């Protein structure tokens, strides 16, 4: 028996005697010492090549540049040789079982493979895109969507999702804004934790759980000009106060992995950034999972000019704290020599292998490498009636009512005739949005179908496409206008195609693409009541529409149940309650435009030319962060602060009375913002620190209390400490980031010395 086999025998013995239970709790994990021993004995049993194999990930599709197996036979040979630790994009219980069988039966070390996939907003049941999920301000519903997605994907043999994307996006031109929770650090952190909890459940070893991967670490959303993959140059303070907290929240919720981002920050690409991958992540946050690169991003260190060769790229990446190389092949090809030559230490290599094996243990793969998957289980788990109902529920909660002049909405179901117009009205492909995964778009409910099944039998529903999403042909506009003329009300469904946002989906213009604005203007000219329904991954600049069209619904990309959810809102079966997770600018010229900006020395003052503003536009957005209307109205009164003098370990308790002053029951997301009046460094004009949703019948009132631990007011001070500084704070409670009742409180403690 070789030493390696003896090692594996010992492991089997340990497992028999001490069956392992990989418990994941929302809090941080502490290592079971038996797992630690088992991992050590596996590492001791592996050859250098087998160790490196654990750090190598290729895609299931063979012959994909830049590296990796060119044929299926080559792929299987690499698995047999123990040179692949993980595969991405292999889907289906039969496919994953077969490759896993090769790994655990035909390879010498018998270490199970880890199957990863981008399960971003659903697997077969597609939920709204994450940006829309954030617009619900409902972390429980978002968590539920992640739980369902995890169960579906896990039943198809997937172990690990490359989600949640927790990048803060302050630039709406960046296409990947669609994949995250928008511009705000607090909302983004709440949603990050909710998605991690949903994917991972309470026990990662449960076969219905997926291991999460918080990505893209870090500051990927701060790409210059909003252009994907572009350079980032931000201060350490901004990095820590704005971009890192959602990652920290994901780590604290137990996320098993992080993905390093494509970008550099101030000259250092994330894949070789020891400060990010080791000092902050491991030393400060005590993260004990592993870091995977992004697609070929280790190899791209050469393009960055950070490495002169694949060997240098591999060396710099693993030494910085990168554990797994997604598809570049640089680890596979170069680490053997680098380790033999001593340019990468064995302890660095072993530590990376240990982290990967640790997560394989926590997933229960050493106990059951197949995690009980079967085609039968898969069939039973996907697209269940209750999952589809959850998808519809999340979708209607995500819809934001931007405008409703003259109460055009909701429409009566028994109107004589409704015209449903626009390139997205009967479209089945785009409502699922970017990164929809292996969904079947035949299952999408279109808006036209949603409307047809909601209206009374006597209502005539006309349809006209009008124009394409992004083309130049205006020939269909005349027919659309003629349909509008015959109707009592028009639903105009416009926006982007799904590939216009998401990865590499950055846009320099955020106007309605193609000739859609011509269509909107022509239909508006009929004088009929028009409801503009937007489908989009980027926030759109719709200044003309906002001043001319009486009713506007922001519906993002809502997934499989888009049409049903939109009909629920249009006809008043559901009273909209979504709130914007992003600022909507008037024009791209205002970008970057986000609510928690600094005051400057010369805040905008229209009466004073020499203040910070544009000559040709107001500095304010078209719609502020947190904004969203309802079919009812709410009054805010009686702001009260329980104790206005607090210490740094106390909790602020602020309350308001919210009254439903309209005629329908509804839910309102009550938002609390804080402004730190003065600090050792400048502070934002407002920062979201808490929110609560209250449901109210017409005429009803409720006192809503929001608690904010004073510790959450900490920031990176002048001397780079994470601290709360004593002083006076303003607090605002209201319906969005631009309004609200105002109060003050003070925090006492030792004043910083500067
Ligand atoms: C994306 C990642 C994704 C990976 C694997 C990359 O291009 O940036 O977000 O997880 O591909 O599909």
Q: Which helix (H) or strand (E) holds 644?
A: none
Q: Pick the residue with more confidence: 33 or 719?
A: 719
Confidence of residue 32 (pLDDT cuts 50, 70, 90): confident
What is the structure's pLDDT at 1? 32
Extract the tokens encoding 431.
Answer: 């409502």
Strands of 56-59's sheet, edge to edge? Answer: 160-161, 114-117, 86-88, 56-59, 325-326
Rg of the chain, C-alpha, whole Å: 27
CA of 248 to the centre of ligand 1 (A): 20
Q: 451-509, pLDDT tens digit by residue? A: 999 999 999 999 999 999 999 999 999 999 999 999 999 999 999 999 999 999 999 99
CA of 87 to the centre of ligand 1 (A): 13
Confidence of residue 33 (pLDDT cuts 50, 70, 90): confident
Confidence of residue 34 (pLDDT cuts 50, 70, 90): confident
The CA angle 148-150-156, to the nearest 5 degrees, is 110
Extract the tokens encoding 170.
Answer: 């302050």
Is 215 a pocket residue for ligand 1 (Cβ < 6 Å)? yes
What is the structure's pLDDT at 508? 98
Question: Looking at the predicted structure, is the pLDDT value of residue 8 above 50?
Answer: no
Q: Which residues pair with 701 in a beta bridge?
A: 659
What is the structure's pLDDT at 568? 98
End-to-end CA distance of the chain: 67
Is 179 a pocket residue for ligand 1 (Cβ < 6 Å)? no
Q: How crowded is residue 342: how many other Cβ atoms within 10 Å of its Cβ?
A: 8
Residue 559 buriedness (CB in 10 A; 0-12 / 13-18 / 19+): buried
Question: Looking at the predicted structure, is the pLDDT value of residue 158 above 70?
Answer: yes
CB proximity list for 65: less than 8 A, separation 6 or greater: none
DSSP calls for 295-333: TTTTTTHHHHTS-SSHHHHHHHHHHHT--BEES--HHHH
CB proximity list for 239: less than 8 A, separation 6 or greater: 218, 219, 265
Distance of CA 395 to the CA centre of its chain: 15
- Taking the C-alpha atoms of 520, 524, 528 and 531 in order, what is their torsion angle to the nearest 10 degrees? 40
Nearest to 153 by CA among 89, 95, 208: 208
What is the structure's pLDDT at 425? 98
Question: Looking at the predicted structure, is the pLDDT value of residue 179 above 80?
Answer: yes
Question: Looking at the predicted structure, is the pLDDT value of residue 127 above 90?
Answer: yes
What is the rounded average pLDDT of the residues 242-260? 98
CA of 434 to the centre of ligand 1 (A): 12
Q: 51-60, pLDDT tens digit by residue? A: 999 999 999 9
Q: How crowded is residue 292: how many other Cβ atoms within 10 Å of its Cβ?
A: 27
Strands 86-88 and 56-59: parallel
How far apart CA 732 and CA 738 sit, in angstroms, is 9
What is the rounded average pLDDT of the residues 338-345? 98
Distance of CA 130 to the CA centre of its chain: 5
Is 723 a pocket residue for ligand 1 (Cβ < 6 Å)? no
CB proximity list for 240: less than 8 A, separation 6 or greater: 716, 722
- Element counts in the chain: helices (H) and strands (E): 22, 26
CA of 621 to the centre of ligand 1 (A): 32
How far apart CA 85 and CA 82 sit, in angstroms, is 7
Question: Looking at the predicted structure, is the pLDDT value of residue 15 above 70?
Answer: no
CA of 170 to the centre of ligand 1 (A): 20
Nearest to 359 by CA among 31, 41, 16, 51: 31
Q: What does residue 191 show for φ and ψ, rounded to 5 degrees? A: -70, -35
What is the structure's pLDDT at 144? 98
Tell me which of 90, 118, 167, 261 to substitute to probe ligand 1's pocket, judged by most ligand atoms within 8 Å of the beta carbon.
Answer: 118
Active site residue 228: no
Looking at 1.10.357.10, 1.25.40.10, 2.60.40.10, 1.10.150.120, the CATH number of the domain 634-748 comes to 2.60.40.10
What is the structure's pLDDT at 751? 61
How far apart CA 432 and CA 445 sit, in angstroms, is 10
| Catalytic site residue from 118, 294, 325, 430 | 294
Which residue lies with its CA nearest to atom 2 of ligand 1?
A: 294
What is the structure's pLDDT at 696? 98
How far apart CA 452 and CA 62 sit, in angstroms, is 44
Looking at 3.90.1150.10, 3.20.20.300, 3.60.130.10, 3.40.50.300, the CATH number of the domain 1-17+26-108+262-373 comes to 3.20.20.300
Is 676 a pocket residue for ligand 1 (Cβ < 6 Å)? no
Q: Mean pLDDT for the chain? A: 95
Q: 693-707, pLDDT tens digit by residue? A: 999 999 999 999 999
DSSP calls for 646-710: EETTSEEEEEEEEEE-SSS-EEEEEEEEEEES--SS--BS-EEEEEEEEEE-TT-EEEEEEEEEG
The CA angle 103-109-110, to the nearest 5 degrees, is 35
How far apart CA 255 and CA 249 sit, in angstroms, is 9
Pick the atom of ligand 1 nearest to 89's CA.
12
How far apart CA 62 and CA 82 sit, in angstroms, is 17
CA of 273 to the centre of ligand 1 (A): 19
Question: Looking at the predicted structure, is the pLDDT value of residue 151 above 60?
Answer: yes
- The full set of domain ranges for the chain reads 1-17+26-108+262-373, 397-590, 634-748
Q: How crowded is residue 380: how many other Cβ atoms within 10 Å of its Cβ?
A: 10
Show the 3-state SS of 238-281. Answer: HHHHHHCHHHHHHHHCCCCEEEECCCEECCEEHHHCHHHHHHHH
Q: Residue 183 in 3-state DSSP?
A: coil
Nearest to 187 by CA among 168, 212, 174, 201: 168
Q: 302-330, pLDDT tens digit by residue? A: 999 999 999 999 999 999 999 999 999 99
Architecture field, domain 397-590: 3-Layer(aba) Sandwich (3.40)
Is 503 a pocket residue for ligand 1 (Cβ < 6 Å)? yes
Is 58 a pocket residue for ligand 1 (Cβ < 6 Å)? no
């Amino acid at each position: 028996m070789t030493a390696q086999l003896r090692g594996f025998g010992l492991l089997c013995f340990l497992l028999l005697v001490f069956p392992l239970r990989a418990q994941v709790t929302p809090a941080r994990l502490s290592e079971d010492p038996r797992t630690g021993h088992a991992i050590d004995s596996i590492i001791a049993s592996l050859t250098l090549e087998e160790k490196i194999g654990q750090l190598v990930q290729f895609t299931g599709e063979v012959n994909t540049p830049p590296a990796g197996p060119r044929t299926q036979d080559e792929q299987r040979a690499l698995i047999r040789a123990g040179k692949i630790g993980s595969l991405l994009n292999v889907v289906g219980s039969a496919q994953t079982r077969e490759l896993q069988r090769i790994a655990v039966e035909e390879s010498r070390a018998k270490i199970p493979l880890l199957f990863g996939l981008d399960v971003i907003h659903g697997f077969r049941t597609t939920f709204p895109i994450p940006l829309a999920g954030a617009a619900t301000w409902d972390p429980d519903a978002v968590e539920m969507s992640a739980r369902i997605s995890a169960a579906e994907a896990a039943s198809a043999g997937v172990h690990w999702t490359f989600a949640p994307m927790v990048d803060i996006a302050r630039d709406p031109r960046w296409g990947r804004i669609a994949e995250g929770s928008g511009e705000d650090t607090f909302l983004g952190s709440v949603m990050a934790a909710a998605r991690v909890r949903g994917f991972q459940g309470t026990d990662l070893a449960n076969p219905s759980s997926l291991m999460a991967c918080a990505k893209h670490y870090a500051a990927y959303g701060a790409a210059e000009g909003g252009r994907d993959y572009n350079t980032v140059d931000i201060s350490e303070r901004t990095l820590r106060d704005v971009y890192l907290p959602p990652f920290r929240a994901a780590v604290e919720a137990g996320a098993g992995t992080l993905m390093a981002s494509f970008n550099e920050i101030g000259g250092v690409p994330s894949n070789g950034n020891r400060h990010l991958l080791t000092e902050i992540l491991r030393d400060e946050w005590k993260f004990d999972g592993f870091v995977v690169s992004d697609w070929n991003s280790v190899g791209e260190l050469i393009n960055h000019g950070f490495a002169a060769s694949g060997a240098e790229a591999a060396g710099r990446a693993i030494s910085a704290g990168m554990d797994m190389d997604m598809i570049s092949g640089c680890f596979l090809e170069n680490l053997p020599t680098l380790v033999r030559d001593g340019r990468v230490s064995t302890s660095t290599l072993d530590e990376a292998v240990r982290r990967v094996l640790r997560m394989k243990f926590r997933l229960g793969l050493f106990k059951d490498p197949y995690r009980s998957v079967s085609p039968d289980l898969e069939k039973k788990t996907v697209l269940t009636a209750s999952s589809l109902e959850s998808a519809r529920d999340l979708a209607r909660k995500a819809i934001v009512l931007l405008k409703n002049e003259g109460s055009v909405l909701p429409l009566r179901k028994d109107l004589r005739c409704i015209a449903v117009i626009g390139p997205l009205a009967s479209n089945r492909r785009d409502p699922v949005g970017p990164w929809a995964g292996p969904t079947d778009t035949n299952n999408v409910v279109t808006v036209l179908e949603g409307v047809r099944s909601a209206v009374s039998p006597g209502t005539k529903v006309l349809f006209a496409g009008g124009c394409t999403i992004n083309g130049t042909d205006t020939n269909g506009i005349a027919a659309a206008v003629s349909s509008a003329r015959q109707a009592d009300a028009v639903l105009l469904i416009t926006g982007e195609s799904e590939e216009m946002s998401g990865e590499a989906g950055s846009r320099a213009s955020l106007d309605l693409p193609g000739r859609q604005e011509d269509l909107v203007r022509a239909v508006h000219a009929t004088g009929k009541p028009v409801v503009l329904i937007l489908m989009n991954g980027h926030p759109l600049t719709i200044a003309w529409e906002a001043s001319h069209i009486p009713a506007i619904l922001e519906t993002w990309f809502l997934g499989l149940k888009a049409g049903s959810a939109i009909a629920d809102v249009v006809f008043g079966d559901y009273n909209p309650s979504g709130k914007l997770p992003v600022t909507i600018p008037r024009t791209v010229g205002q970008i970057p435009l986000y609510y928690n900006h600094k005051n400057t020395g010369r805040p905008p003052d229209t009466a004073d030319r020499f203040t910070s503003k544009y000559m040709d536009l107001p500095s304010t957005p078209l719609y502020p962060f947190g904004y969203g209307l309802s079919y009812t109205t709410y009054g805010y009164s009686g702001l009260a602060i329980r104790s206005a003098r607090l210490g740094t370990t106390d909790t602020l308790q602020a309350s308001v009375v919210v009254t439903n002053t309209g005629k329908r029951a509804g839910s309102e997301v009550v938002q609390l913002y804080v402004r730190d009046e003065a600090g050792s460094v400048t502070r934002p004009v407002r920062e979201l620190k808490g929110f609560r949703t209250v449901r109210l019948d017409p005429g009803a009132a409720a006192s809503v209390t929001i608690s904010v631990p004073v510790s959450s007011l900490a920031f990176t001070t002048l001397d780079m400490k994470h601290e709360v500084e004593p002083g006076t704070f303003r607090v605002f409670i209201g319906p969005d980031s631009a309004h609200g009742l105002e109060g003050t409180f003070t925090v006492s403690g030792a004043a910083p010395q500067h």
